[in-house]
Structure 1
Amino acid sequence: MEENSILEEKQVFKQLEGILNLLDRKPYYNNYLIRLLDLIGATILGVKPAELLNIPVNEGETKNSPWEECRAFLGLEKSIEFREIKTKNERIQVLFYHCASLDKTLRSKANLKFLRQIGYPEPYSLEVYVDFLVKRLNQGDFPHEVGIFLGYPLKDVLGFIGHPSLRLVKTQGWKIYGNEKLSVNKYQSFIQARTKVKGFIDSLHSQGIYSHLH
């Protein structure tokens, strides 16, 4: 299992290197994309199943939206999908997700039971559940179950929506309820994965493999 994980990580880094090497052709968008890769680093590695971001669609005096260019680059990362949700005040809300990781998270017996209880379809499929979440994100009230998609423990989602037996104990990345050990370990794994991706990008820069970044 560990060997497979190492192989998958090497493959991800190879794909990332390919994306970064293409940046020389679009120097105006380098910092924008590098910042985005940093923010979704844990999802790129599949440690965090998804990330929900509000991304500026206009930056500086560039004629075309940097986000349009980033969409093309991110299309080269085979394990990552993204869904554009809504645009407001020159920012677009985007859900990025690692297909295998999110599928595993949603298939968890407890998570699946909870999602079905609040109206998600009985026959499960990753695409159907992502569609359902996107539809709810486009509606008025913010769907609290998005925390499950983002990799938060179910107990923290239940605590946030007011489960009487769960007490708020701390905030670290998100509001943590009940026993904090699971939540803290999960949060630390997200940070470590994001740091690993950032370190990989920085190492390529220090080696001069791509020239226009930072």
Structure 2
Amino acid sequence: MNAAPQKIPALMAFLDWRQALAQMEERVRRFDAWVFLNASSVLLSEKTGELLAMDLQEMGMTADDVEFELERLSGKWNFDYKLFAESNGFLKFIVYRRDRLRAVLDESPYCVMVGQLNYSHPLSPESFLGEVKERWLEQGSVPHEIGVALGYPLEDVFGYMGLMPLACKGVCGWRVYGCMKESQRRSCAFNNARCQALAFLAGSAAA
């Protein structure tokens, strides 16, 4: 039997926050819970980053409001963020862990990132996401290489983009071009984090 979500160390760090939810202003409470749930695979698991799209009208917020609140939470919850684009009432941004992104960028093949995708070298989390944002705004769509920052195995990202001569081996939430076992392990970990977050939030009223 799996341990209850409240017993998991990563969730213990959020107990005080959960207990304070009832005393928060409604808008702040909704925002915090939304970020906690939708970025749970980053906050509670090993995922490098999560690309999010927030409905500003539904949340009753502006892009500036969101940035202000993300800045507040990032210090408390130990994450980084980057705003990308606002369109059709949605603000697109990434919540990520800088150390994880730096590690995966260090592992990324030079011949792909620089030789084929024309990113500068050496890459840093800030320069990579800054270039992703510029390309997104220029092209009008998210560049596929953002997958590098979203916790997917590099072979899966570059195989999907046709930058590595790999055949698709199957699907586990995304197309797998590398090790199926590793991709399945990550997929299960990401999904489990969201389930834990849902259960944790469900206990907020009784906390």
- TM-score bracket for the superposition, by shorter chain length: 0.7 to 0.9
- Is contact 2:40-2:193 (8 Å) kept? yes
Mapping of 1:136-147 within 5 angstroms? 136-140=135-139, 141-147=141-147
SS in 2 for 1:87: strand
What is residue 47 of structure 1 aligned with on the other side?
Answer: 46
Q: Which digits, 9 at most, give the CA deviation of each residue in 1:28-59, with x for residues without a partner?
A: 44344323311110111351000111111112
TM-score, scaled to structure 2: 0.78
Displacement of 1:189 after TM fit? 1.6
User: Aligned pair 1:168/2:171, yes or no?
Assistant: no
Indicate whether 1:101 and 2:100 are aligned: yes
Q: Distance in 2 between matches of 1:113 and 1:55?
A: 35
Tell me the TM-score normalized by structure 1: 0.76
Tell me which amino acid in the other structure corresponds to 1:142. V
Q: What is the CA–CA distance in structure 2 between the aligned matches of 1:98 and 1:178, rounded to whole Å?
A: 23
How is 1:71-150 mapped onto 2 (pairs within 5 angstroms)?
71=70, 73-108=72-107, 110-111=108-109, 114-117=112-115, 118-140=117-139, 141-150=141-150
Across the aligned residues of Structure 1 and Structure 2, the Cα RMSD in angstroms comes to 2.8
Amino acid at match of 1:17: L
Alignment check: 8 A CA contact 1:46 1:100 kept: no
Question: Matches of 1:95 and 1:199 in 2, distance apart?
Answer: 24
Q: Tell me, yes or no, if the aligned pair for 1:46 and 1:101 is still in contact at 8 Å.
A: no
Residue-by-residue CA offset, 1:56-115 (whole Å, 9 max, x unaligned): 11127x5x447467435523434211111111111000111112222222222x455532
The within-5 A match list for 1:153-164 is 153-163=153-163
* Structure 1: unaligned runs, 5 residues or longer: 1-8, 210-214
Q: Deviations over 1:113-140 (max 9, x none)?
A: 5322222221232222222222222221
Taking a change above 3 Å as real, the CA distance of residues 114 and 199 of structure 1, as seen in their structure-2 partners, is farther
Aligned-partner SS, 1:182? helix
One-letter amino acid matched to 2:15: E
Partner residue in 1 for 2:181: 181
Distance 1:199 1:73 in 2: 24
Deviates more, 1:118-127 or 1:192-201: 192-201
Q: For structure 2, which runs of at least 5 residues remain unmatched after alignment? A: 1-7
Aligned residue-pair number: 195
Percent sequence identity is 22
Residue pair 1:38, 1:197 contacting (<8 A) in 2 also: yes
**Conserved? CA contact 2:45–2:189, under 8 Å:** no
Give the residue type in structure 1 aligned to 2:81. F
CA distance in 1, matches of 2:67, 2:155: 37
The aligned amino acid for 1:114 is V
Distance, in Å, in 2 between the alignment partners of 1:40 and 1:146 is: 16
Shift of the 36–165 alpha-carbon distance from structure 1 to 2, 3 Å rule, reads same
Task: State the secondary structure of the residue aligned to 2:57.
Answer: coil
